[in-house]
């Protein structure tokens, strides 16, 4: 794909700003109230912040009560069946708010909306939904919403497009501590179980100067943690036509002066390099935390998943990363019960977990996604048997996590205090450089700042401590 086809021209983006102004003027006597509900990954969170930015430019204020909202936006995820069921449940509940307020505009967007079968289901069975659009059409949201209001019709924008990059969209950052920065969009990997390449299009990288400028502004505005986002950040730059890669981008951002941590996700092992790990090790702002999804410890299953690396190669990467970052916190994703997986193969994954000693895991039982190759594979093992394997995996990881957390007791660590905890005895919630959750005692004035926490206790999922003087 040529770069000229990727960048949306400024004139088209200016056109969207005109639609924002028209909508603001249209509702000048009674400004709209909007609700944006986000499902799924951090990329969806970042997308929702742009949706909120566009809504604010239309003069909207925001509410958490769907009954009070004039515009409801559900930004959806298509990764797992459970997420889709939640969305349909929410759509069903909105029939009542629509009945009470017929002028309410209900919008469905995100990855789930991009799937043709979902769009058709909404068209036929959820007729109270006014606007449906996929990730590629997000930048056109003002124009699409304008069509709903002026043409008094339902609008669907879910054509299969190659995807593009829209720079300069308005954004509403939630909070003043953490910020998300998308560095690329789309995916070229086509893992056999994953719907993302079909709904988010092919990989396209933002120009590095744009990214660096955005991070520089965030640091100047006082944000303390910035996370770089992409479906596979390790493939950043492959479409730029230069030798500039993700490690180069990390090093360039790290040169921005300030007091902040820099994180990134998600990473594909096939594109992870020693250059990346060396860059992480020497860059003082880059958190020594690596989330590198392995998915399975069995080579046959990895091949069936279309994951182009072996267990041995993965272990080699981790060994090198730990050699240059001895204190690195390592996390991963694992799928149990892939179609055709045997008990022995599932236990190979458990063995990998015990051998690698991940700090924590995101664990899943295989969920078939219509439209992916894995959904058509023979899957003779019952859900009940997969659950037994899954529990062995979880038990193994929980024991490791508990042990690693216990080793922190008595230590004093730097944390970023980002909000209030739901534990009355430890009213603050914070994160370590390795992204471990810390529930801590201390003054609420610490929220939004770096602090020192002395760790006094732990469990499988969190550390506990108290703020101490620097």
H/E stretch holding 304 reads: helix 299-304
What is the percent of the chain with per-residue pLDDT over 70, rounded to a whole number? 98
Q: What is the mean pLDDT of residues 181-197?
A: 94
H/E stretch holding 283 reads: none
Distance of alpha carbon 255 from alpha carbon 270, whole angstroms: 27
Does residue 1 carry a pLDDT above 90?
no
Distance of alpha carbon 349 from alpha carbon 361, whole angstroms: 12
Does residue 457 carry a pLDDT above 60?
yes
Contacts of the segment 319-323: beta carbons below 8 A, 24+ positions apart? 320/274, 320/277, 321/277, 321/280, 321/290
**Domains delineated in the chain:** 3-157 (3.40.50.12160), 175-287 (3.30.750.210), 412-468 (2.40.50.140)
Tell me, what's the pLDDT at 161?
67
CA atoms within 13 A of residue 377's CA, in its CB half-sphere: 19
DSSP-assigned letters across all residues of 356-404: HT-SEEEEEE----TTSGGGGS---S-HHHHHHHHHHHHHHHHHHHHHH
Angle of the 10-26 helix axis to the 141-151 helix axis, nearest 10: 40
Q: What is the chain's mean pLDDT, rounded?
A: 95
Distance of alpha carbon 65 from alpha carbon 91, whole angstroms: 14
In eight-state DSSP terms, residue 172 is -
Does residue 3 carry a pLDDT above 50?
no
Q: How confident is the model at residue 80 (pLDDT cuts 50, 70, 90)?
A: confident
pLDDT tens across 322-367, in order?
999 999 999 999 999 999 999 999 999 999 999 999 999 999 999 9
CA 364 remoteness from chain centre: 16
Distance of alpha carbon 216 from alpha carbon 256, whole angstroms: 6
Distance of alpha carbon 364 from alpha carbon 124, whole angstroms: 32
3-state SS, one letter per residue, for 69-118: CCEEEEEECCCCHHHHHHHHHHHHHHHHHHHHCCCCEEEEEEHHHHCHHH
Q: How confident is the model at residue 162 (pLDDT cuts 50, 70, 90)?
A: low
Torsion angles phi and psi, residue 24, rounded to 5: -65, -45
Is the backbone peptide bond immediately before 369 cis, with ω within 30 degrees of 0?
A: no
Structure tokens at 283: 């860059």
Does residue 229 carry a pLDDT above 70?
yes
Distance of alpha carbon 142 from alpha carbon 439, whole angstroms: 41
pLDDT tens across 264-277, in order?
998 999 999 999 99
Question: Smallest Cα–Cα separation from 294: which of 273, 280, 275, 312?
Answer: 312
Asked whether the whole model's pTM tops 0.75, one would answer: yes
Handedness of CA 139, 140, 146, 149 (dihedral sign): negative
Strands (E), 200-326: 204-205, 225-229, 261-265, 289-291
CB count in 10 Å sphere of residue 127: 11
pLDDT tens across 395-451, in order?
999 999 999 999 999 999 999 999 999 999 999 999 999 999 999 999 999 999 999
Does residue 4 carry a pLDDT above 60?
no
Of 7-11, 49-53, 248-252, 331-335, the one with minimum mean pLDDT is 7-11
Question: Smallest Cα–Cα separation from 294: which of 355, 380, 385?
Answer: 355
Q: What is the mean pLDDT of residues 216-224?
A: 97
Torsion angles phi and psi, residue 89, rounded to 5: -60, -45
Q: What is the mean pLDDT of residues 13-34?
A: 96
Winning range, highest mean pLDDT, from 184-188, 366-370, 463-467: 463-467
Does residue 177 carry a pLDDT above 90?
yes
Distance of alpha carbon 290 from alpha carbon 330, whole angstroms: 5
């Amino acid at each position: 794909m040529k770069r000229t086809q990727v960048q949306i021209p400024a004139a088209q983006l200016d056109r969207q700003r005109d639609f924002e102004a028209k909508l603001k003027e249209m509702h000048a006597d009674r400004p709209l109230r909007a609700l944006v509900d986000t499902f799924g990954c951090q990329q969806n969170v970042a997308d929702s912040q742009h949706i909120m930015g566009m809504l604010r430019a239309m003069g909207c204020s925001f509410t958490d009560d769907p009954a009070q909202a004039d515009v409801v936006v559900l930004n959806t995820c298509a990764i797992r069946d459970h997420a889709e069921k939640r969305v349909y449940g929410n759509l069903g509940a909105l029939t009542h708010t629509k009945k009470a307020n017929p002028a309410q505009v209900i919008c469905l967007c995100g990855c789930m909306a991009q799937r043709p079968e979902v769009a058709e289901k909404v068209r036929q069975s959820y007729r109270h939904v006014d606007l449906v659009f996929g990730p590629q059409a997000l930048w056109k949201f003002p124009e699409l919403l304008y069509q709903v209001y002026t043409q008094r019709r339902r609008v669907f924008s879910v054509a299969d497009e190659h995807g593009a990059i829209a720079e300069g969209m308005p954004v509403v950052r939630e909070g003043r501590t953490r910020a998300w920065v998308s560095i690329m969009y789309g995916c070229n990997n086509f893992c056999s179980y994953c719907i993302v390449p079909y709904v988010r299009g092919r990989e396209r990288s933002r120009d590095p100067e744009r990214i660096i400028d955005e991070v520089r502004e965030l640091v100047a505005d006082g944000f303390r943690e910035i996370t770089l986002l992409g479906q596979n950040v390790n493939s950043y730059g492959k479409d730029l036509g230069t030798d500039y890669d993700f490690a180069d981008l990390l090093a360039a951002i790290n040169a921005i002066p300030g007091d902040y941590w820099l994180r990134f996700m998600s990473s594909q092992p096939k594109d992870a390099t020693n250059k990346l790990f060396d860059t992480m090790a020497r860059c003082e702002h880059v958190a020594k935390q690596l989330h590198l999804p392995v998915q399975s410890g069995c080579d046959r299953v990895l091949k069936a998943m279309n994951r182009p690396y072996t267990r041995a190669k993965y272990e080699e990467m981790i060994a090198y990363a730990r050699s240059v970052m001895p204190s690195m916190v390592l996390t991963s994703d694992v799928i149990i019960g892939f179609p055709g997986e045997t008990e022995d193969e599932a236990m190979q994954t458990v063995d990998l977990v015990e051998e690698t000693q991940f700090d924590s895991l995101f664990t899943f039982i295989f969920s078939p996604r219509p439209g992916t190759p894995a959904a058509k594979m023979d899957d003779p093992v019952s859900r009940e048997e997969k659950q037994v394997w899954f529990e062995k995996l979880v038990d193994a990881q929980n024991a490791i996590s508990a042990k690693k957390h216990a080793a922190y007791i008595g230590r004093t660590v730097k944390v970023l205090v980002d909000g209030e905890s739901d534990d009355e005895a430890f009213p603050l919630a914070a994160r370590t450089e390795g992204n471990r959750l810390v529930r801590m005692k201390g003054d609420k004035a610490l929220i939004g700042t770096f602090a020192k926490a002395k760790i006094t206790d732990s469990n499988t999922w969190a550390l506990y401590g108290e703020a101490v003087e620097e």
